[in-house]
Amino acid sequence: MDQVDHADDNPPLVDQEHSGPPWTTLRHFPNIDNVNASTLRAALLAKHTTSYLVDWVSSFLSERSCTLVFQGSSNLPPPVSVGTPHGSPISPLLFLLYVAPFHLAIPKGIMLSYVDDFSITVASMSYWDNLHRLQRTYTEISDRGRSRGVSFSVPITELIHWRTPSQGTPHATNPIQLDGQLFHPKQVIRWLSYWLAPALTATHHYRDRLSLAQAAFSFVKRLSFPGAGVRPFVCHRVTQGLLLP
């Protein structure tokens, strides 16, 4: 297993009774195009899924082709035997069923997933121990993924160390090493369109939303020039429609 570089300036937290143990989150992303139809069919049958539903899923994933268009001319559509059809609302659900065995029971930890976004959060007596636990969990998930032909996009892995204001400790900078690549903790990560910071504050998220609202407002203002364009009261109505929930 890869080793974690120890940072002497990030000691373990010692006041566990009052502040709680430190916790760390690792996010990684499996490749969604690796769903094998026969493997998924066998998994559904093993879970005693209704036969007609299994047949429907098999039909949905079979006899597919892909056509590429270059400068207006298309090539002969080759057959596609892996992955799920893009743009279909059924495809993410099938992928979730396909990667269901990846979810592990983690002592003092939790694993969440949203389509192709896996999040592993663990807690222990120090950030150093958290990183070792995350490494072991990642290794086990990767082994399960290889058994199903699913790989993870390691270069876009994200790491963040959490802390509460009551802990009163400096930001942890301990990195993690996965498959020979070193990942330093981020100051913010985006989870389901919400920006999360290590201190569990919403400042960055609201600053981001305010920036988007100001950009929308500036765009609308350009629609109405003095003496031309959209009338001011119409511009005001459009702005309200963009900014108000």
pLDDT digit string, tens, across residues 41-100: 998 999 899 999 999 998 888 877 777 777 766 667 777 777 777 778 888 888 888 888
**Which one, of 190, 163, 231, 192, lies nearest residue 19 by Cα?**
163
pLDDT (mean) for 21-49: 82
- Confidence label for 8 from pLDDT (cuts 50, 70 and 90): very low
- Confidence label for 18 from pLDDT (cuts 50, 70 and 90): very low
Query: With left for phi above 0 and alpha for psi between -120 and 50, is residue 16 left, alpha or beta?
Result: alpha
User: Mean pLDDT of all residues in the chain?
Assistant: 77
pLDDT (mean) for 214-237: 72
N-to-C CA span, the chain: 49
The reported pLDDT for the residue numbered 20 is 56
Give the global pTM.
0.66
- Confidence label for 227 from pLDDT (cuts 50, 70 and 90): low
On the question of pLDDT at 213 being above 70, the answer is: yes
pLDDT digit string, tens, across residues 173-210: 888 888 888 888 888 888 777 888 877 778 888 888 88
The reported pLDDT for the residue numbered 169 is 64
